[in-house]
Amino acid sequence: MLFIANGLLSAISDNVFVATIYITEVKQAFVSGHMSREHFETLAIAINTGTNLPSVATPNGQAAFLFLLTSAIAPLIRLSYGRMVWMALPYTVVMGVLGWYAVSYWL
């Protein structure tokens, strides 16, 4: 669930902010003794991959896309925010599904 929640929030918000909030809460639970080290590490991996993989769907998640969108080249190649999201969609779906599968079944 953390993978999915982080992915959705990271797609519409700043992924570093989302990861920071989640990892801070999980760390507090670990430090207070509510979970084992192994459980903490598994959740940390889920938070990290969930934050980074699905956020590829947005230019905010891709520095190269964001750079292109704000450059003088963007109008010349008819690049818009929506077009970038559309172009990144196949990567987002593949990486998101594979990441979710890996976190769910390989950890």
Other CB atoms within 10 Å distance of the CB of residue 105: 7
Query: Domain residue spans in the chain?
Result: 2-106
40: confidence class by pLDDT, cuts 50, 70, 90: very high
* Total-model pTM: 0.72
SS3 104: helix
Asked if residues 50 and 4 have their Cβ atoms less than 8 Å apart, the reply is yes
> What pLDDT is stored for residue 9 in this prediction?
82
The 8-class DSSP code of residue 54 comes to G
What integer best gives the mean pLDDT of the chain?
A: 83
Question: Could you read off the pLDDT of 47-98 as tens digits, one per residue?
Answer: 888 887 777 777 666 666 777 777 888 888 888 878 887 888 888 888 888 8
Residue 38 has pLDDT above 80, yes or no: yes
Describe the crossing of helices 2-12 and 81-101 by its angle, rounded to 10 degrees. Answer: 170
